[in-house]
Amino acid sequence: MSATLFDNAPWASAQPRLSVLIPFKGDDPRALIATLAREPAAVEIVLLDDGTGDSALSGALQALIADLPLPIRLVTLAVNEGRAKGRNRLVSHARAGHFLFLDSDMAPDSPDFLKTWLALIERTDPAVAFGGFSLDQVEPRRDQALHWAMAAHSDCLSAAERSLSPEKHVFTSNLLVRRDVFAAEGFDEGFAGWGWEDVEWGMRVARRWPIVHIDNTATHLGLDPASVIAAKYEQSAANFARVVAAHPDVVSAYPSYRAAKILRRVPLRGLWRPLIKAFALNALAPLPSRAFAMRLYRAALYAEAV
């Protein structure tokens, strides 16, 4: 697929130690770019507009990029490639020895966010490292309350907690990867839609290299309404089946897999599964019960794959 490139003036002569790779589709990454550009560092940024189709946003991005001292390249696609293929494409434009995959709806929690990553590279040259994410900068919204509760429970974990299952907590929201590691293990472009392509990548990589977890978090600003969470889980069922087929020994230890195996034996899933979803979407129900129902709904979807 052809791509349109826009480079600012510092791009041509830069010799970065770290390439920050940011894909987006529909989101506006200007606030994130402006935040990153405040840090003086040997860093370049590569942006991938994965088929947004918004000429006004593209023009505003180019105007911002042109005035920033950090070397930045904007890659614009007319048609969406998807999460795995898009990130592989980002790597093809990166020039540094380490890549930092950072989602466009993230906001660094520390003013020394990039400096911390560069210091880690200088100190230990890690194969893979995940910095974690938080909800510290999220403005509370009623329609996102379910996602906030679920993320706070299972995703916003310390480095010590994540290190207990290092391959499980590998997400492209804040992920450092050394060039030679990615050259050997890229993202599987057989994944489609939402979910699991980064975790599956972590499973493959963990067989060959250590995965380090540190506390250098960024806030996940892009929380979703409950209906969007449910739709993403529905999209992810086929991806989960792909992971189960490739890594049964690893996935079998996950609670989501064990729950799916139990629900697989329960008859009439087509009748009771929509009722669980309806309860999870009910804003008047208690939040802890809704969160449990949404996790149960995901397991019921995944029951078709185990």
Q: pLDDT for 247-269, tens place per residue?
A: 898 888 888 889 999 999 998 88
Going from the C-alpha of 303 to that of each of 28, 44, 226, 261, the distances in angstroms are 36, 43, 21, 6
Query: What is the domain partition of the chain in residue ranges?
Result: 4-223, 224-306
pLDDT at residue number 1 = 58
Per-residue confidence band for 72, with pLDDT thresholds at 50, 70 and 90: very high
6: three-class secondary structure by DSSP: strand
Q: Indicate the helix (H) or strand (E) that contains 293.
A: helix 287-302
Q: What's the gap between Cα 8 and its chain centre? A: 26
pLDDT of 15 > 90? The answer is: yes
Q: What's the token pair of residue 301?
A: 């979807």
Per-residue pLDDT tens digits for 48-66: 998 888 889 999 999 999 9
2: three-class secondary structure by DSSP: coil
User: Cα–Cα distance between 230 and 225 in angstroms, integer?
Assistant: 9
CATH number of 4-223: 3.90.550.10
213 and 162 Cβ atoms separated by less than 8 Å: yes
DSSP one-letter string for 30-57? HHHHHHHTTS-SSEEEEEEEES---HHH
- The reported pTM is 0.92
Per-residue pLDDT tens digits for 195-245: 889 889 999 999 999 999 999 999 999 899 999 999 999 999 999 999 998
User: Cα–Cα distance between 215 and 195 in angstroms, integer?
Assistant: 23
74 and 184 Cβ atoms separated by less than 8 Å: no
User: Cα–Cα distance between 19 and 43 in angstroms, integer?
Assistant: 6
